[in-house]
Structure formats: structure tokens, C-alpha cells
Amino acid sequence: MLALVARRLVVLLPVLFGISLLVFVLTAVSLGDPVRAAMGQRGEPAVIAQIRRDYGLDEPLWAQYTRWMGRLLHADLGRSYHQQRPVSEIVAERFPATFRLALAATAIALVLGLAAGTLAAVRHGGATDLLLMTGALLGISTPVFWLGLMLILVFAVWLGWFPVSGYGDGSWRHLVLPSLALGALHTGVIARMARASLLEVIRQDYVRAARAKGLSETVVFLKHALRNALLPVITVAGIGLADLLVGAPLTETVFAWPGLGRMLITAVGQRDLPVVMGAVLLFALVYVVGNLLVDLAYGLADPRLRT
Amino acid sequence: MKPTRALVFLALAVLAGLQALVPPADAQKRGGTYRAVLGADPPTLDPAQATDTTSSAVLRQIFDGLVELDEKMQPVASIAEKWHVSPDQRVYTFTLRRGVRFQNGREVKAGDFKYTLERAARGKKPWVVEKLAGAGEVIKGQVREIRGIRVVDDQTLELTLERPFAPFLMLMAYDAAFVVPREEAERLGPEFGSKPVGTGAFRFVSWRHDDQVVLEAFKDHFRGAPHLDRIVYRIINDDNTRFQEYRAGNLEHVDVPSGQFRAAQKDPVLSRELFVYPMLGTYSLRFTLTQPPFKDNKKLRQAVNHAIDKEAIANVILEGSVVPARGVLPPGMPGHNPELVGYPHDRQKARRLLAEAGYPDGKGLPPITLHYNTSALHKRIGELVQAQLRELGIAVQLASLDWAAYIKLVDDGGTQWHRLGWLADYPDPENFLTVLFHTRNVGPPGNSSRFSSPEVDRLFDEADRMPAGPARLAKYREAEKLIVEEAPWVFVYWYTSRLLQKPSVKGLERSAMSSAPEMHMAPMRKVWLDR
């Protein structure tokens, strides 16, 4: 287990370097100038030139990248061109909102998805199965933007049960609607995955053997079938969580949620390279750690994989 | 275009202004939190660095200038209690009020304005101070001090202009000229934009980016404490979400999302809370006059102008909430010419002009690319224009880019035809016409169509230096007439603002420079809540 963790962490360094270089080059060579974009419609050439010098944007690309890397080695992600604040402060400010939303959406997706998938597998071929799988398909295919607006209209404006949008004081009431909207897609995916996986597992010989031993259907299902069917579900949920931890721009926009997704979209639009670089590095880290956690979770679900 | 339409909008504006009239002071209630909304996270709250109306909406409550614009957009006293202008219109001597304090407790002195204006010259909107004698050298980084600023004593400031400039006082009412305390600006450095300190009626409390900005009453404001205790600016990018927050009773005012205007007009509750008033802004599709096929082909530009049905754009896409444009200067802007006919929709005339331009029925004319910055509204307008020109045999390709890429392309003169709107920085025709059409402003400073005419430049140079009055406005009118004749733009529509406002909100000024949802020119110190 420790060897696995160590191996992954060693691989992380070249991955981060490669990603940083790629993002830097792509952002730097794309059309548009952060200074000009920040000036609005009317920009004075002398001022633009002066600010470009102040930001070091008049230097060659390799010099800019080397300077950025040098700072990174001192744990400094630089300052945002636009907000004039340290990038680490900007990213750290957004992470809690994104983390809470991702966790809540994943929890909803896991609970509802597993329940729906299991029930559909148990009632395989019946009306319940059809109904649940249609629901799952709807969850996957409904645009989050539209679903978010509908949730707002029904549960916030008409019924008044939850706030319309915003982070508020951080209470759970603000979290419900955005996490439902965001979790819908993942609920559908997990439900379908759980159903397919369970249907495959319950046809296996060891399940038949368990039944032949005279074990109750509940024990056969929970101890032998479900546990083994969980592996692909863990993979999907783990990758889904990592996916959500890098922000969900559409959901965050509809619900005015101050997360990383909105921050990154704005930064890309403004060509705020230090913020884009900081965010992408964080995202890469999240993905690698997320995948590592999925691998570790395999071990918990299936003891054969612990070595 | 029906000429009466603009008059109707002007009448609406007057009505809106009357609505905003404040009742006697004893009827005004104190206290409460005003729940405002912004359409984006403000990039900065530093007056020298802000370039957008979102930042301006907040920082205008935190800072004050020498003068401010009233609801009729005329300069009135603020920190300066009075001023004197020399007979040659070049020297402005301001007398400051005594006892004006920054929110850190220190008294404002004339020297603070010298520091502020020189800081602004090194900021992102140096044109606010560029009329001062010697400001150009500071803007270029050649010297540190502006020679045209003299601190006579702690209460007296003398500003000398390079040459007379009638709207100079309006520039002094602009964000970049708002006084900042040197000790705070230097202590905080770039972070002054995140922790601003000014003299305004509200002081900064907190800012959770992309969520909310909170201000509270500054009790020691030189005009006395404001009516409101606090202002909470929610930051909501999506216009539909803003609208739902308003309907749920969580915002005091909001803009009307696109596609919802007619529904709001028909709604029994919302229709009573709806205000539509003209803005000093013009939406245009600008030809790049240095690029084929529009270069040196006035007839082609005129043909395209006549071929586009601006009424349809106004009525179909913008739900009848805007006025089709007939020129550059919008109604309400001094110098606006109500007799200007512009280019009414006339397919026959367009066909004839197209033939005279050398392209009968569009034959021989290669496809034209119309660029716009990514937005659903610009796309819909582009598609309608594309369809209308297709009927004439003109093929139009649409190309959208995000703002950063788009403005760079436009700056470089790299488009054939591009969309841009213009909202006045201050209510003077110079801010429209000279900025957008003078040869010296070709490219990033404003003249994106690269229009150049020695005769028009001469008229601008004369008018810009003339004292305010009818003779000056006549020069701008003459210049505008020449510009419209040359058809460097398709003049599409004049902006309006569509505001929903709760009946409990009193004193919110709806001036022609404040658009919903930001209402950036509205002084919140005048606002109170009747509940």
C-alpha cells in the first residue's frame, strides 16, 4: 500500500511539470492580452505598455515561465494580474465552497444512485426497473443549467423551502439545490453502473454457491453480490468526485456559488495567467490524489487487491 | 423610425426622474439593509484601477470627488464646496469643505487631491487627468508630478488645463478622480483595491469574491450619516437567477433578463415595478475602414445600412425595449440631433446602392465576416443581420470570440466588420464623437472603425476647446452629420435600461448613465427603505 502511494507521488512531479508547461504555452500564445482585456473598451497604448512591463509580460516566454517556476519552488504561485492578490489566497478562498458542493453532490449521487441501481437490479425487467432507469437517463441527459433553474423556481420561488442562490452563511440550506442539480448527472451514472454491475455479479458462480449453502437472500446480496459489484461504482464515484472538486462552472453560475469553476472561467476569459496556472496545478493534484484514493478504496472493497 | 418614439422614451425618463424625487427629510426612514446586486465580481475597488461599471457601482459609495454629477448629470459640489474658473477657461480653483474626513479618521486636504490625480495618471484611466497641463509626461512615465496641479493651501487646489475643455468638471466627477488617502494606498499597495478606504457615505466591510460585497454606513460622512445601515451587493452572473432572487423578495432592484421583458410588462405585479429609461449609449456594427470590402466604398456601407431593419432588431430581439438608432449621439446627450434621419430600412435603395458600389445583387462581393464578442444577444442580432443581407445577395459569416481575443483583434484592425457598443463615461458629445471618430484615437483609444476625416477632426478640435453652449454643440452636430453620411457604422439602436424596483425603495436615481442591475451612478446615500 505504501509503495503504491510513494509510486504515485513520484509520478506526480513530472505530471505537474508537463501540465504547467502545456497550460502556460497554450494560454500565453492564445490571442488576447490580459492587460488590454482589463482596460475595457478604451485602452491607452502607453498605459498598456507600461503595465505589461510591470507584470513582466514584455519578457520572452521562456523567461516568464522560468520566473514562474522559480517562484513555485518557493511555494509562491504569484499574483493575479486582475485582482492584484496572491493566487494562493484566491484559490484557498474558493476551495471550501467547491469542496462542500462536491462532497454533498457525491454523497447524494452515491446514496440515491446506489439505492436506485440496487432496486433496479433486484426488480430487473419489471416496471420499477424501467422507471428507475428512465429516471437515471433523465438525470444524465438533463442540462444542469435548466435543471438548476427549475429547482430554483419550484423549491425556492414557489415553495420557499430553500434560498434561491448564493453561499449565504454557509448553512446546509444553501447547499441543497446546487448539490441536487450537480448530483443529478452522477446519480444517473452511478445508478446505471450499480445496476449493470450487480446484474453481472449475481450471475457468477460464487453467488450461486452462496445461495446453495443456504444463506439468506439478504446476506447473499449484501455480503457477496453488492460488495463485489461496488468496484466499478467506486471508480465512477471517485473520478466523479475529482471531477466535481475542480469546480462546476455551470452549476456555480446558476446558483451564484463562489467556487473554483467560476473563478477559472473568469480567469481564462481575462487571460489571468497566474490564476489559471495556480488553478490547473491544483486540479492536477486533485485528480492524481483522487485516483490514488480510488485505488486505495479498491483494497477496502476487495481484499485481493491489497497487495 | 418614428421620431415620436424617442420623445416617448424621453417622457418616460422624465417620469422616472419624477418618481425618484425625494420626499421631505422628515418622511425619510432610517436604517435597514439594502440588498443590491452586481452582474459580475468587481475586478477592483481602487478608483485608479477600475475600468468597469460593476466596480464603479461599489466604489462610488466608498469614495467622493471634488464634484459629482446630479440626477440631471450636471456637476454639483461634493468635497469642493465651490470653485472658480478663470476667464480663459484654463484654471479651476477649488475650495474644499472643512472637516471632510477619510474613513480612517484623517481630515482631507488639498494635497490629497494632488496625490490622487497623479496616482490616477499612472492608473488604468489616465484620460481622466490628461487635460491637466503636464499630465502627458506623467502618463508616459517621464516625470512624477503634474505641473498643472498646485496646492495653494490645505483648503485650496488649483488645476490648470493645457487648453480649455468644457466638460472638465465632469472628468473630476469620474471614479479615477475620487480622493484616496495616501497613507492607506501606500501601506496596502496593490491590495488597496481589495480593502478600500475613502471619504464616502459607506465604508468597506467585507468581500467574498463571486458571492457578496458588504458596505456599512460611515456615520462621519461630511453630509451626515446615510439613511441605510448597510448595503449588501450580491454577485450573481446569471440574469435569470438574479430575476428569481428578485421575485423571491431577496433583492431591492434588478434588471429584466432578455426574453422576459414582455412577460414582465404583462405581469400585474412586475408591471408596476418596471421602469424603462433611456441610456447614453449606442449599439453599433462597425465597418473597419482600412479593410476591404468597406475600405473606400461608401456606397457599399450605405447599402448595408439601408438593408438592415433596425426596427426588427429593436422589436423582435429586444422586445421593443430599445430605440432604433439614427445616428451616433443618443437622445438625452447634449448635441443629440432629433432631425437626423440615419438609414431607414429601404431594400430598394439598398439594392440600388449595392449596384452603384460595384456589386449588383451582391455579385462579385466575397463573403463578409462579422465579428462579435461571445454573447447570446450579439449572436441573435448577427443572425438577423445575416438573414437580412442574404436577401440582397450579400453573404455574411459570423465569428465570435471571447472578450480578450476579440478586443485584441479589433484593436489591430483585423476585422472587416465588428460589433461594439458605447456607453458615455460622462454626458458630453466629446466623449462620444471625438473619442470614437477622431483620427488620433484610431485603434485602442476608441476609434475602432479607423474613421479618418480632416474636416471632422478640425470640427472636433475646435469644439473640444470651445466653452459650453449652443455654438459648441452646433460643431458636434455638424461633425455627426458628416460621419453619418460616411456610414462608418451601422447605427443599430440606442440603449435603454430595464429596471425592476420594489415599491419600498425610495430615492434611487435612474439617470441616463445608470443601468440596471448595477445602477453605478446612483448615490446610495440618497436611498432609503419605506418598510
Assess whether pLDDT exceeds 90 at residue A301.
no
Tally of CB atoms within 10 A around A10: 9
Contact (CB, 8 A) for B71 and B332: no
Q: Please give, rounded to a whole number of angstroms, the shortest distance from the CA of A169 to a CA of chain B.
A: 11
Task: Note whether B137 and B150 are within 8 A (CB).
Answer: no
Q: Please, are residues B417 and B369 in contact by the beta-carbon 8 Å criterion?
A: yes
Residue position matching grid coordinates 447570446: B376
Average pLDDT of the segment spanning A184-211: 88
- d(CA A157, nearest CA chain B) in Å: 5
Type of residue found at B393: G
Instruction: Give residue B25's pLDDT.
Output: 54
- Number of Cα atoms under 13 Å in the Cβ half of residue B23: 9
ipTM: 0.84
pLDDT tens for B217-233 read 999 999 999 999 999 99
Are residues B244 and A32, on separate chains, in Cβ contact within 8 Å?
no
Give the C-alpha separation, B300 to B361, whole Å: 12
Q: In degrees rounded to 5, what are phi and psi of residue A106?
A: -70, -40
Give the residue-averaged pLDDT of B270-294: 96
pLDDT band for position A213 (cuts 50, 70, 90): confident
CA dist A303 and A263 (Å) reads: 41
Whether the per-residue pLDDT at B271 is higher than 90: the answer is yes
Residue reference for cell 454491475 = A197
Number of Cβ atoms within 10 Å of the Cβ of B362: 18
Chain A residues with CB inside 8 Å of B520's CB? none
Q: In this predicted structure, what is the pLDDT of residue A303?
A: 66
Pick the residue from chain A with its C-alpha nearest to B419: A41
Cβ contacts of residue B531 below 8 Å, gap of 6+? B29, B32, B504
pLDDT reported for residue B414: 95
Q: What is the pLDDT of residue B78?
A: 97
What own/partner pairs with CB < 8 Å and gap ≥ 24 does A59-68 have?
A61/A24, A61/A25, A61/A28, A61/A29, A64/A24, A64/A28, A65/A21, A65/A24, A68/A20, A68/A24, A68/A274, A68/A277
Whether pLDDT at A166 is above 60: yes
- Which member of B193, B248, B407 has the closest CB to residue A36? B407
How does DSSP assign B230-267, residue by residue?
EEEEEE---HHHHHHHHHTT--SEEEPPTT-HHHHHHS
Q: Please list every residue in chain B whose beta carbon sits closer than 8 Å to the beta carbon of residue A157.
A: 244, 247-248
| Interval A226-249 mean pLDDT | 81
Confidence tier at B1 by pLDDT (50, 70, 90): very low
The residues, ordered by sequence, that sit 6+ positions from B198 with a Cβ below 8 Å of its Cβ are B47, B59, B62, B63, B64, B102, B103, B178, B179, B180, B181
Interface with chain B: mutation pick from A29, A42, A175, highest number of B CBs within 10 Å: A42
Cβ-defined contact of B444 to A43 (cutoff 8 Å): yes
Do B211 and A258 make contact, defined as CB atoms within 8 angstroms?
yes
B250 has a pLDDT exceeding 90: yes
- How high is the pLDDT of residue A12? 79
Compute the CA torsion angle B515, B521, B524, B528 (nearest 10 deg): -50
Instruction: For residue B41, give the chain A residue with the closest CA.
Output: A266
- HEC string of A34-65? HHHHHCCCCCCHHHHHHHHHHHCCCCCHHHHH
Q: Do B51 and A38 touch (CB under 8 A)?
A: yes
From chain A, the residues in CB contact with B407 under 8 A are 32, 36-37, 41, 43
User: What is the rounded distance in angstroms from the CA atom of residue B427 to the CA atom of residue B334?
Assistant: 7
pLDDT-derived band of residue B2, with 50, 70 and 90 as boundaries? very low
| Alpha carbon distances (Å) from B264 to B255, B273, B506 | 11, 9, 21
Q: From the list B139, B250, B404, which residue is nearest A32 (CB)?
A: B404
Nearest CA of chain A to the CA of B128: how many Å? 12
Amino acid (one-letter) located at B219: K
User: Which triple of cell numbers denotes residue A147?
Assistant: 435543471
Average pLDDT over residues B45-71: 95
Q: What does pTM read for this prediction?
A: 0.89
With CA atoms as reference, the chain A residue closest to B54 would be A40
* Beta carbons of A85 and B194 less than 8 Å apart: yes
pLDDT of amino acid B3: 44
- Grid coordinates in use for A270? 481575462
Chain A nearest C-alpha distance from B55 (Å): 12
State the cell numbers at B449: 472603425
Nearest to B43 among A30, A82, A157 (CB): A82
What are the pLDDT digits (tens) for A136-146?
Answer: 999 889 998 89
What residue of B is the nearest CA neighbor of A167?
B211
Minimal CA–CA distance to B429: which of B339, B317, B327, B352?
B327
User: Which residue in the block uniquely carries the three cell numbers 475595457?
Assistant: A40
Residues B105-135, buried b or exposed e (16+ Cβ, 10 A)? Answer: eeebbbebbbbbbbbbbbbbbbbbbbbbbbb
Confidence of residue B112 (pLDDT cuts 50, 70, 90): very high
Statement: residue A57 has pLDDT above 60:
yes
Chain A, nearest residue to B402 by Cα: A269
- Tell me the pLDDT band of A305, cut-offs 50, 70 and 90: low
Task: Please give the DSSP secondary-structure letter assigned to residue B189.
Answer: G
**What does the alpha-carbon distance between residue B408 and residue B371 come to, in Å, rounded to a whole number?**
12
Confidence of residue B338 (pLDDT cuts 50, 70, 90): very high
B65 to each of A162, B42, B43, how far by Cα in Å?
42, 20, 21
Binary contact (A255, B141; C-beta < 8 A): no
**Confidence band for A6, pLDDT divided at 50, 70 and 90:** confident
Residue B438 has pLDDT above 90, yes or no: yes
What is the per-residue burial (b if ≥16 Cβ within 10 Å, else e) of B205-243?
A: eebbbbbbbebbbbeebbeeebbbeebbbbbbbbbbbbb
Mean pLDDT of B365-378: 96
pLDDT reading at B7 higher than 60: no
A76-126: per-residue pLDDT in tens? 999 998 888 899 999 999 999 999 999 999 999 999 999 999 899 888 889
Measure in Å the smallest separation between the Cα of A69 and chain B Cα atoms. Answer: 23
Q: Specify the residue for cell string 497550460.
A: A23
Say which of A39, A45, A164 has its CB closest to residue B250.
A164
How high does pLDDT run on average in chain B? 93
* Cβ <8 Å between B404 and A160: no
Q: Do B238 and A153 touch (CB under 8 A)?
A: no
- Interface contact flag, B444 A258, Cβ < 8 Å: no
Minimum distance, in Å, between the CA of residue A155 and any CA atom of chain B: 11
Using DSSP's 3-state secondary structure scheme, residue A179 falls into: helix
Are A37 and B44 inside 8 Å of each other by CB?
no
Within 8 A of A275 by CB-CB distance, chain B residues are none
Query: Rounded CA gap, A108 and A180, in Å?
Result: 7
pLDDT score, position B218: 98
Q: What percent of chain B has pLDDT over 90?
A: 92
Q: What is the largest CA-CA distance in chain A?
A: 85
Residue A149 and residue B405: Cβ atoms within 8 Å? Answer: no
Dihedral (CA of B402, B404, B409, B410) sign: positive
> If you average pLDDT over every residue of chain A, what do you get?
87
CB contact under 8 A, A42 and B405: no
Residue B93 to residue B85: CA distance in whole angstroms: 6
pLDDT of B401 over the 70 cut: yes
A249-to-A157, A245, B57 alpha-carbon distances in Å: 23, 11, 25
Q: Is A12 exposed, middle or buried (0-12, 13-18, 19+ CB in 10 A)?
A: middle
Whole-number Å distance between alpha carbons of B237 and A278: 23
Nearest-CA neighbor of B325 among B339, B348, B307, B343? B343
Q: What are phi and psi of B377, to 5 degrees?
A: -65, -50
- pLDDT confidence of residue B23: 53
Average pLDDT over residues A189-209: 88
In the predicted model, is pLDDT for residue B353 greater than 50? Answer: yes
- Which positions in chain B touch A152 (Cβ < 8 Å)? 241, 244
- pLDDT value at position A304? 65
CB A76 within 8 A of CB A85: no
- Region B225-252 average pLDDT: 96
The answer to whether B168 and B80 have CB atoms below 8 angstroms apart is no
Chain A to chain B, count of Cβ pairs less than 8 Å apart?
152
* pLDDT tens, position by position, A279-299: 888 888 888 887 777 777 777
Q: Indicate the residue of B193, B210, B422 with minimum beta-carbon distance to A263.
A: B210
Q: Which residue has the cell 494606498?
A: B185
